Amino acid sequence: MQRTPLLGENYSLNINNTSAVKMFSTWGQSAWEANKTLNKISSLNFVSSHQRLNVKQPTNDWFEQWLVGFTDGDGSFSVLRQGDKWGLTFKISQNTYNLRTLHYIKKELGAGSIFVESKNDMAHFRIRDLKIINEIIFPIFDKYPLLTTKYFYYNIFKEAYKILDNKDLTKLEKSNLLENLLLTKPSNSYISPAWDNVSKPLIDANEAKKVVSKAWLIGFIEAEGSFYLVSKSASRIVHAFGLTQKLDQIVLEGIRHVIGISTKVVYISKNNYYRLDTTNSRAISNIIDYFNNSMKGMKAVEYKIWSRSFNKDKGNFEKLIKIREQMRKLRSVR
């Protein structure tokens, strides 16, 4: 079996395109139609992901890994149909409270657009141009693989690009292939192949760090992490850190080991998700040290207030009440 490159290595998907597309293309087609389509697909010559086009080339490895982490948290790879036209969209969505992060991404990539929905306080960074997707997005996500189930959807996204880019296929053939491609779904136990070469279940930080880089983790926490204050009693407030995931328990386990959180990942059956949450003082100190001066968006502001209050005001109930209210008001700013 071919070795799966670890995060940080020069990574690219290795898919038998003819076999993969054959599975999708033959559903619902006559034998003659299927063979005709496969003959066209077998001679595909796709544009290299690294071909130089008239777009900016990101060269910041730290940013690229951070972006993959942020995308694992709040990004999406969509294959969309409008009428008889198909398209691809790479998108990262944030509340307008964190609009600065989307501008940071746009600046670093040198491409894309930002759309703000004023009615629901949401903002979206989007890239729809196939040329830019091929030249900028694919090289990043091939080099640094996604660690969550989004790897599966990224794979579908790439296959859809290959179909759309194939000039030997008719419009109808492309549509049939894309419709069948979108029928494939990951299982609930799906694990990104980025984790293939580590022991499972994860046993320690050394194993987890083979996959989870610091830049990826910072990006993921900026998208998904929560720094907060929680009441333990009528007169006691403590610092807390938490993450939830509907799938990908292994990702939370990896984060737990890397940061140094002793609390176990738990499954909340009522809500159907996994949760990593801690109020342990040693774990909070580890988290503060790990993320110091690292984040780019509004999470950096939240972290600063939260960490400073742990170091200066821990145990001061009245002061912590005010700080908790300050953080809540900060998150309501639009």
Q: What is the per-residue pLDDT across 108-154, written as a single tens digit (0 to 9) for each? A: 999 999 999 988 889 999 999 999 999 999 999 999 999 999 999 99
> Of 191, 211, 235, which residue sits at a domain end?
191
Amino acid at 141: F
pLDDT of residue 119: 86
| CB-based contact 132:139 (threshold 8 Å) | no
Residue 272 CB-half CA count within 13 A = 1
Q: Is the peptide bond before 145 cis (omega within 30 degrees of 0)?
A: no
Evaluate whether 91 touches 124 at the Cβ level (below 8 Å).
yes
* Dist. CA 96–CA 99, nearest whole Å: 5
Does pLDDT of 250 surpass 50?
yes
- Domain boundary, last residue among 191, 207, 242: 191
Query: Does residue 201 have a cis peptide bond before it, meaning omega lies within 30 degrees of 0?
Result: yes
Instruction: Give residue 73's pLDDT.
Output: 97
Both tokens of residue 228? 């907060």
Note whether residue 100 is domain-resident.
yes
Half-sphere exposure of 41 (CA within 13 A, CB side): 25
Distance (Å, rounded) from C-alpha 191 to C-alpha 172?
34
Check residue 171 and report its DSSP letter: H
The overall average pLDDT reported for the chain is 86
Q: Is 315 left (phi over 0), alpha (psi -120 to 50) or beta?
A: left
Q: What spatial distance separates the first Cα and last Cα of the chain, rounded to whole Å? A: 50
pLDDT computed for residue 288 by the predictor: 98
pLDDT digits (tens, 9 = 90+) for 55-68: 445 459 999 999 99
**Overall domain count for the chain:** 2
Buried b (16+ CB within 10 A) or exposed e, 223-233: bbbebbbeeee
Check pLDDT > 90 for residue 8. Answer: no
- pLDDT (0 to 100) of residue 59: 59
**At residue 33, does pLDDT exceed 70?**
no
Q: Give the span between the Cα atoms of 18 and 30, in whole angstroms.
A: 18
Determine the average pLDDT of the residues in 317-329.
Answer: 96
Last residue of a domain, one of 191, 210, 234: 191
Judgement on whether residues 179 and 237 belong to the same structural domain of the protein = no
Please report the pLDDT score of residue 333 as a whole number. Answer: 79
pLDDT of residue 308: 97
Whether 88 and 180 map to the same domain: the answer is yes
Q: Are residues 232 and 173 in the same domain?
A: no
The answer, yes or no, to whether residue 280 has pLDDT greater than 80, is yes
Q: Within a domain: residue 119?
A: yes
Contact 208, 254 (CB under 8 A): yes
Q: How far apart are CA 277 and CA 280, in angstroms?
A: 9
| Residues 95/223, Cβ–Cβ less than 8 Å | no
Question: How far apart are the C-alpha atoms of 20 and 59, rounded to whole Å?
Answer: 31
Under 8 Å between Cβ of 147 and 251 = yes
Q: What is the mean pLDDT of residues 159-163?
A: 98
- Average of per-residue pLDDT across 305-315: 96
Residue 270 lies in a domain: yes
- Is the same domain home to 134 and 243? no
**pLDDT greater than 90 at residue 167:** yes
Residues 144 and 229 in one domain: no
Q: Is the pLDDT of residue 37 over 50?
A: no
On whether residue 48 sits in a domain, the answer given is yes
Judge if 239 and 180 occupy the same domain. no
User: In Å, how far are 71, 72, 110, 117, 188 from 91, measured between CA atoms?
Assistant: 8, 11, 15, 14, 23
User: What mean pLDDT is predicted for residues 193-197?
Assistant: 96
**Is there a single domain that holds both residue 154 and residue 45?**
yes
- Mean pLDDT value across residues 282-288: 97
Residue 286 lies in a domain: yes
What band does 230 get if pLDDT is binned at 50, 70 and 90?
Answer: very high
Q: What's the CATH code of the domain at 139?
A: 3.10.28.10
Q: Residue 173 is encoded by which pair of tokens?
A: 């053939």
For position 236, what pLDDT does the model report? 96
Q: Are residues 260 and 166 part of one domain?
A: no
Q: Is residue 151 domain-shared with residue 283, that is, in the same domain?
A: no
Answer whether residue 275 is part of any domain.
yes
pTM above 0.95, yes or no: no
The verdict on 47 and 116 lying in the same domain is: yes
Same domain, residue pair 169 and 249: no
For residue 152, what are the domain limits? 17-191
Checking if the pLDDT of 20 tops 70, the result is no
Say if 5 falls within a structural domain: no
Residue 35 predicted with pLDDT over 70: no
In a shared domain, residues 119 and 268? no
Domain annotation covers residue 202: no
Q: What is the rounded average pLDDT of the residues 12-29?
A: 35
